[in-house]
Structure 1
């Protein structure tokens, strides 16, 4: 009985989110959006937030996606609970990607170089983030702007990724470094 209630709740929240966020959300095929998913466009920006969910994607509960750029979530991929995605240019996530809970992905950083001007008034800089197919991001991972995580990579829990990750690499640490490769 509990499984049936859970399934009905997920269908209900998916439908409600599709209606509420119809202007920014494009769903291609089957998808699941759980409760308390918050899609927050930055209205003061020159571009609009656009989110594309491909077939068989899943947004777990309590996720925040905010900004004014394009987010694409590839087929058979999911984003874990309590994750935050800040997208002001582009975040593209491939097929069969597992994003654990509490992950932060940001394509934006604040400018801070001018010591005579408050940081809040210095604007932002953006660079796209690409997460290729068959990637696993562990719990609490942070992905910074301009990073590409290549196919087959694994990012260990709580790692901070500031540079590109090679194909089939296992990385960890702050900043993340290659620990080994999956075929070793």
Structure 2
């Protein structure tokens, strides 16, 4: 990784959270190809060799904590940019796209078909055609429950203990301890105490 980092300016920009160009970066393309290849292997062998699938997952996502449980298929672009807290459960069709850092807290429940998107492409035509994109971080607090088919857009933070209703599209920060739903997702009430 260090040799790639020294040789590729766009990889340096990715790691710094700066504008970069995936489409012109051999290093970024190689990293995502390797990550997607590992995901394909995990998805293929999960039920026949669960021990090896979990080993490959932790190799792909070195920031995954103890007791992280997942179900295939999963698709992750940059495992080294993903941190998952202890005891988090990730259901089928988990998708993390782009190179922005993603931090998922401990004890989270990630429903099926959830997607986390971290790249923002340039809005102006010329820069978009040149392939410029800005990776933005996503942070999900501890004990968050994402219902099925939740979409989280670049730069969003979801506070501890919150619940995001199925099918929601989270485009802005969600505070802690709320139930939030919709497109765009918005808080509708506090999470019950007990």
What TM-score does the superposition give when structure 2 sets the normalisation length?
A: 0.69
Structure having the larger proportion of residues in strand: 1
Partner of 2:160: 151
Q: Does 1:15 align with 2:15?
A: no
Say which SS state the counterpart of residue 180 (structure 2) adopts. strand
Whole-angstrom CA distance in 2 between matches of 1:146 and 1:93: 13
RMSD of aligned Cα (Å) = 2.4
Equivalent residues of 2:158, 2:176 under 8 A apart = yes
Whole-angstrom CA distance in 1 between matches of 2:104 and 2:155: 13
Partner of 1:161: 170
Partner of 1:110: 121
Q: CA deviation at 1:183?
A: 3.3
Segments of structure 1 that go 5 or more residues without pairing to the other structure are 1-8, 27-51
Structure having the larger proportion of residues in helix: 2
Whole-angstrom CA distance in 1 between matches of 2:85 and 2:119: 21
Alignment of 1:16-165 (within 5 A): 16=53, 18-19=55-56, 22=59, 24-26=60-62, 52-67=63-78, 70-113=81-124, 115=125, 117=126, 119-165=128-174
Partner of 1:44: none
What TM-score does the superposition give when structure 1 sets the normalisation length?
A: 0.72
Segments ≥4 residues shifted beyond 4 Å: none
Whole-angstrom CA distance in 2 between matches of 1:20 and 1:176: 30
